[in-house]
Amino acid sequence: MKNNPVIQTMLNHKSIRKYTDKVPSDEIVKTIVRAGQQAPFASQYYSILLSRNRDRNPYKAPLLFTICVDSHKFELIMARRKWRLVTNDLTLMLFGIQDAALMAENMVIAGRSLGLGSCFLGSAPYRADKIAEEYDLPKRVFPLVQLVMGYPAEDPPTRPRYLMEFTLFKDKYPKLDDDTISEAMREMDDGYLAQDYYRNLNAKIRLEGDREETFTYDDYSWTEHICRKWGQWYPDPKNLLEQFERRGFYITGKRPQSSSTNIT
């Protein structure tokens, strides 16, 4: 494989969950956000809120970014141009999520290149109401994900990823046979077990219903973890759809005219 400082920075990525007391300067923050902004975009459909209150995030990181899909400020531009938003909110959300995610990952890489570690927090969409209240978000701004950042007080090993053969498919999608699947699962599970990752985080997901627990931290690893997540959680999209609607986004149907900020 080729290597250079950019590739090395990316290959060194690891989520950081322990931070020193050192406070990143405003210049550091500005540099990171500016590098984030330079990500490719469909329409810059995002805004970032920053809190320096360590008590606002579970890892007591000195920086907490809340990354939002933002239609509000674009609709203000449309109104200036005397246009009315017609595109449905599912399409806008899809492009907005891509814009915001690309920008956020650029921030992660920029941060690491400056010696900062980070970790995403994925619960924001489910706490959208609360975050909206805390940060005074206007309607049509949806908190997508949060990103904590600061100087690392730990240096864990990098975490495993799927094998290339399970990720990059040339020319056409292959038939995934048993051996390939087993090999992919083994790579992930052995990799996480070697780090004692779930034991260290005490992160075993509880089994619901009458399923009997047969795993200990000696064999509980990534594939079981991820199966427990998506095999048990959020079967009904209702709660999430309600969060979207309370923020003024109508994902499953037509947006009521009044929810759009550009109509005066």
Q: Which of 5, 122, 209, 235 binds ligand FMN (CB under 6 A)?
A: 122
The answer to whether 194 touches 224, Cβ cutoff 8 Å, is: no
Nearer to ligand FMN, 117 or 261 (CB): 117
The answer to whether 233 touches 73, Cβ cutoff 8 Å, is: no
Q: Does 199 bind ligand FMN (CB under 6 A)?
A: no
| Start-end of H helices in the chain | 5-11, 26-37, 72-80, 89-113, 128-135, 178-195, 197-201, 222-230, 238-246
The answer to whether 242 touches 126, Cβ cutoff 8 Å, is: no
Which residue has tokens 């290959």?
11
Q: For the CB of residue 141, give the shortest distance to ligand FMN in the complex, in Å.
A: 18
What is the C-alpha to C-alpha distance for residues 70 and 88, in angstroms, rounded to an integer?
Answer: 14
Give CA angle at 47 (71, 90), nearest 5°.
Answer: 35
Structure tokens at 158: 């990098």
Q: Which stretch binds ligand FMN (CB under 6 A): 27-35, 114-122, 213-221, 235-243?
A: 114-122
Q: Does 121 bind ligand FMN (CB under 6 A)?
A: yes
Nearer to ligand FMN, 139 or 204 (CB): 204
Nearer to ligand FMN, 10 or 181 (CB): 10
Q: Does 120 bind ligand FMN (CB under 6 A)?
A: yes
For residues 157 to 186, the per-residue mask of contacts with ligand FMN, x marking binding by CB under 6 A and - elsewhere, is --x---------------------------
Q: Which of 107, 119, 131, 137 binds ligand FMN (CB under 6 A)?
A: 119
Q: For the CB of residue 21, give the shortest distance to ligand FMN in the complex, in Å.
A: 20
User: Which residues of this protein are in contact with ligand FMN, per CB under 6 A?
Assistant: 13-15, 17, 119-123, 145, 159
